């Protein structure tokens, strides 16, 4: 945008004289005027004409209040066109404060297309457990929770340690896959899927699969060690299905975790209270994928931003069915940006939830090092570009 031309255009007499001089320079006459007879051939918008009907269907995208439970917000389908073609699905939600209310702007690239999002979905069964227990036992403190095997007293671990192990992959207790499969034992697959659908409003999603390993404890129970009370027991096993969600679903879920404190109770994950979310928040802070760290480093912001929060959950794997290597990344990022102070403005609160899914075809399923390396760099590069646009507020300008 040329700010100088915008300022100069305030002088309407000067604009008129400039345009009149153009008429004279072009030798205009009554039979051929410079602007009336300019013709579409010289218009910079001639190649857009075929798209006019589509453009007329679009509405201006503005920040709106956080969506109601079970409602899919209006998602701009074109605003993430800058993402590389190897990013096949994506959904971003920007948050900002207006008149002391959280306002959001949603944008996507195939945001509602069902796909495998691998381990990025593992936080969902954990949140379902919180929802069940907080609703039934609101006075039970999460720091007293323990998951145990009623048939083997040696198989037990604290709730927060298990959550951390799922995200960090440190295997202090058991593999991330086995622990995540265990959390799915606290609700029937059909009810868990319906619970998620009722939150995101996407009734096309499927969430009845596992994570490739048997549960650490097949019939676990969740107990309050302080009150010596069983809070939740395993349900009867049911047939397995698929885990096929959308980028929007995951962005919606991680945004509800990150913005929980600011949301009206009617907009929060049902039943979940702030204190019980704290181990989830701390666990998501220990994700092994550090794409946002890399982005801040690449932008020279790692020692500039204040009060950073980076919650994320990776997903990654080769698909023999699709002959591809795939990486998914769900993240919530928040920090105070002091850069505006350099121009005399106040520091700004930046807050964003995002989910990306990157896919690269594999040439040889026996050796896909090159494709894996390339995809890892691609995700890092695209997250860097997203954070850059957050800082420059280019994402705020989508229409």
Give per-residue pLDDT as tens, 156-190: 999 999 999 999 999 999 999 999 999 999 999 99
Q: pLDDT band for position 2 (50/70/90)?
A: very low
Spatial separation of the C-alpha atoms in residues 24 and 245, rounded to whole Å: 62
Percent of the chain at pLDDT above 90? 74
Query: Is the pLDDT reported for residue 330 higher than 60?
Result: yes
More confident call, 300 vs 69:
69
Residues 6 or more apart whose CB falls under 8 angstroms from that of 36 comprise: none
Domains and CATH numbers, the chain: 3-55 (no CATH), 64-397 (3.40.710.10)
Query: Is the pLDDT reported for residue 315 higher than 90?
Result: yes
Question: Quick one: CA torsion of 361, 362, 368, 374, rounded to 10 degrees?
Answer: -20
Q: pLDDT band for position 62 (50/70/90)?
A: confident
Tell me what the mean pLDDT of segment 241-253 comes to.
Answer: 98
Q: pLDDT band for position 105 (50/70/90)?
A: very high
Spatial separation of the C-alpha atoms in residues 123 and 166, rounded to whole Å: 9
Residue 71: closest CA among 202, 166, 187: 202
pLDDT digits (tens, 9 = 90+) for 355-373: 999 999 999 999 988 999 9
> How is residue 234 written in tokens?
């395993």
């Amino acid at each position: 945008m040329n700010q100088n031309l915008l300022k100069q255009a305030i002088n309407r007499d000067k604009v008129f004289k400039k345009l009149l001089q153009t008429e004279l320079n072009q030798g205009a006459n009554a039979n051929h005027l410079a602007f009336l007879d300019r013709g579409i051939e010289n218009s910079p918008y001639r190649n857009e004409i075929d798209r006019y009907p589509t453009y007329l269907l679009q509405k201006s995208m503005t920040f709106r209040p956080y969506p109601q439970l079970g409602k899919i917000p209006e998602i701009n389908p074109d605003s993430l066109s800058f993402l590389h073609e190897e990013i096949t699905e994506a959904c971003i939600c920007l948050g900002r404060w207006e008149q002391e209310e959280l306002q959001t702007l949603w944008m996507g690239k195939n945001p509602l297309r069902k796909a495998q999002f691998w381990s990025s979905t593992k936080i969902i069964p954990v949140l379902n457990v919180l929802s069940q227990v907080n609703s039934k036992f609101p006075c039970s403190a999460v720091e007293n929770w323990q998951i145990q095997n009623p048939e083997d007293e040696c198989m037990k671990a604290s709730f927060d340690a298990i959550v951390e192990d799922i995200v960090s992959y440190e295997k202090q207790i058991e593999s991330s896959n086995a622990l995540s499969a265990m959390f799915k034992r606290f609700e029937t697959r059909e009810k868990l899927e319906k619970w998620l659908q009722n939150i995101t409003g996407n009734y096309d999603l499927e969430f009845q699969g596992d994570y490739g390993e048997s549960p650490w404890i097949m019939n676990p129970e969740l107990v309050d060690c302080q009150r010596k009370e069983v809070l939740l027991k395993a349900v009867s096993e049911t047939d397995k299905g698929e885990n096929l969600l959308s980028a929007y679903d995951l962005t919606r879920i991680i945004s509800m975790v990150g913005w929980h404190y600011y949301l009206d109770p009617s907009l929060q994950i049902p039943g979940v209270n702030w204190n019980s979310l704290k181990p989830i928040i701390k666990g998501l802070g220990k994700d092994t994928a550090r794409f946002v760290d890399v982005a801040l480093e690449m932008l020279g912001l790692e020692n500039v931003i204040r009060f950073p929060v980076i919650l994320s959950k990776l997903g990654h794997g080769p698909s023999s069915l699709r002959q591809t290597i795939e990486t998914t990344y769900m993240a919530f990022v928040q920090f105070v940006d002091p850069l505006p102070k350099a121009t005399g403005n106040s520091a700004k609160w930046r807050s964003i939830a995002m989910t990306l899914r990157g896919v690269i075809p594999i040439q040889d399923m026996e050796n896909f090092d090159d494709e894996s390396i390339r995809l890892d760099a691609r995700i890092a590069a695209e997250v860097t570009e997203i954070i850059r646009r957050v800082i420059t507020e280019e994402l705020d300008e989508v229409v």
